[in-house]
Amino acid sequence: MKPALTRAACLLCAAFASLTAPAASAASQTILRAAEQQSAPVNPANFTGAARSDGAFRQQAPARVYGGWVTFEPGSRTHWHIHPLGQTLIVTFGAGLTQVEGGPVREIRAGDIVICPPGVKHWHGAKPNQAMQHIAIGERAENEQVQWLEKGSDEKYLQLCVSGFIKNFRINSTCSRSKRLQSNKRRPS
């Protein structure tokens, strides 16, 4: 055999061996079994309405990745917040809404992927008449993964109920309650 062909054959064999050999770090791999994962309500200080977190995970340093499933009941949503290193949302079912500060409210549906850049103030959650679930993935920066800010206006959110933004919308208890509250505010004392 020619030396060049022998060297190439050795490189090919070495590459194949590295692909088929078990990884030395396989013993330290962690599997979070579905049956063992906890479901918990989200912190009500950071959300409006009923939502829960399932399968939350957080890598240990030096890795910075964290994530989990978040399920929003109809009308539930986050407060305004910022992720220092950004956030990716993968909508797994239902339909929701999202908005960056100063931008339009945008609809998101199952199969959509929302990529929010680092440092962008935003909120997201379910539509008033439909639940939504997404997988949220982010990275911690210096042990900070999210900066929670003020609650969004219920009035602005619920205006979506009557503004025509939400097609085929049937008034539900959330919007009915909001309309009663708004009409009570207009009555003279």
Predicted confidence (pLDDT) per residue in 113-126, tens digit? 999 999 999 999 99
Contact 69, 134 (CB under 8 A): yes
Predicted confidence (pLDDT) per residue in 70-116, tens digit? 999 999 999 999 999 999 999 999 999 999 999 888 999 999 999 99
Predicted confidence (pLDDT) per residue in 38-75, tens digit? 888 999 999 999 999 998 888 877 788 888 999 999 99
**91: region left, alpha or beta (phi > 0 left; psi from -120 to 50 alpha):** beta
Q: Rounded CA gap, 43 and 79, in Å?
A: 11
What pTM value is reported for the model? 0.70
Q: Rounded CA gap, 82 and 120, in Å?
A: 6
Higher per-residue pLDDT: 8 or 23: 23
The per-residue b/e assignment along 5-30, b for 16 or more CB within 10 angstroms, e otherwise, is: eeeeeeeeeeeeeeeeeeeeeeeeee
